[in-house]
Amino acid sequence: MKVGFIGTGSMGSLLLEALIDSGSLAPNQVYASNRTPEKVIRLQQRHPGLHVCTSNAETAHNSDLIFLCVKPLQFKAILDEIGSTLRPDQMVVSITSPVQIHHLESALCCKVAKIIPSVAHRVQSGVCLCMYGSRIKEEDRQLIEHLLSPISKPILIDESFVRITSDLSSCGPAFLSFFLDQWINAAVETTGMDRGELTWIAGEMLLGTGKLLTQGGFTPLELQKRVTVPGGITAEALALLDSSLTGVFHRLIATTHGKYKEDLEKCDAQFGGPGAD
């Protein structure tokens, strides 16, 4: 199978390299293009055999499956560029949440899917959210999930829940890293302990907590109760967090959903959907 990548920015290159490094793809199976060609050339230097394409149409023409890894408002122009090149048996997979499957199916003759990857795929971990268009057959779905399985846990979700699930699976590493960075900064300022050592301790704690939630049979609330002793230090600190963070996650969700709605309306306008004039 030949796999194309249109867009090799932050997430496009991460997905490409994770698939190669895991052995899911060999470099000579990959065709890639980017508006800054030097980025693709650097990828080829790291992965000899990777095909550097001079246009997005060339990438699309040579690939059985094409990942579209560009920003939402760049999609319409990309689809206009590659649309006449595509065949009905090919698959186009978007990695961008505001661009809807119906947008893609209205513009393309081929099979369409959408995934939301995670930075955690760089270490062959994390959940990859998967959504499929009406032309996708069971064997197509199996092919996509087989490709993604070495770097992630692919799960099927309804597209209507893409934003809230993305908050956890895709944005979550940034949110948790922000929390840990603030915590580590305070620890360094308070105690003078080495930042690197504290960061390592925090990372191991986070890794272990994840295993307890996914393999240890704990829910988040049960884990809090398991660690906490009534009247103890953890209980005092949890009470502080509870009073300090009241409503913050509802505001976080309102923020991410608000931005998503704004981007979705812009995409609708470009594709002539509900948000168009």
Q: Within this chain, do residues 130 and 176 fall inside the same structural domain, yes or no?
A: no
Q: Within this chain, do residues 18 and 120 fall inside the same structural domain, yes or no?
A: yes
Q: Please, where are the H alpha helices in 153-194?
A: 162-169, 172-191
- 258 lies in a domain? no
Domain count, the chain: 2
Please tell me the distance from the alpha carbon of residue 56 to that of residue 74, in angstroms, as a whole number: 12
Write down the pLDDT at residue 234: 97
Q: Within this chain, do residues 13 and 74 fall inside the same structural domain, yes or no?
A: yes
Percent of the chain scoring above 70 in pLDDT: 98
Q: Show the tokens assigned to 10.
A: 């932050």
- 177 lies in a domain? yes
Q: Within this chain, do residues 12 and 149 fall inside the same structural domain, yes or no?
A: yes
Q: Which structural domain range is residue 147 located in?
A: 3-160
Q: Within this chain, do residues 118 and 204 fall inside the same structural domain, yes or no?
A: no
Q: Which residues contact 98 (CB under 8 A, 6 or more apart)?
A: 72, 260, 263, 264, 266, 267
Q: Within this chain, do residues 13 and 131 fall inside the same structural domain, yes or no?
A: yes
Q: Within this chain, do residues 114 and 216 fall inside the same structural domain, yes or no?
A: no
Q: Is 56 annotated as a binding residue?
A: yes
pLDDT tens for 72-130 read 999 999 999 999 999 999 999 999 999 999 999 999 999 999 999 999 999 999 999 99
Q: Is 12 annotated as a binding residue?
A: no
Q: Within this chain, do residues 112 and 133 fall inside the same structural domain, yes or no?
A: yes
- 275 lies in a domain? no
Please tell me the distance from the alpha carbon of residue 212 to that of residue 13, in angstroms, as a whole number: 31
The last residue of a domain, from among 160, 186, 204: 160
Q: Within this chain, do residues 96 and 145 fall inside the same structural domain, yes or no?
A: yes
Please tell me the distance from the alpha carbon of residue 98 to that of residue 82, in angstroms, as a whole number: 20
Q: Is 11 annotated as a binding residue?
A: yes
Q: Is 126 annotated as a binding residue?
A: no
pLDDT tens for 115-163 read 999 999 999 999 999 999 999 999 999 999 999 999 999 999 999 999 9
Any idea what the CATH number is for the domain that residue 93 is in? 3.40.50.720
Q: Within this chain, do residues 152 and 189 fall inside the same structural domain, yes or no?
A: no
Enter the pTM of the model: 0.93
- 198 lies in a domain? yes
Q: Within this chain, do residues 121 and 12 fall inside the same structural domain, yes or no?
A: yes
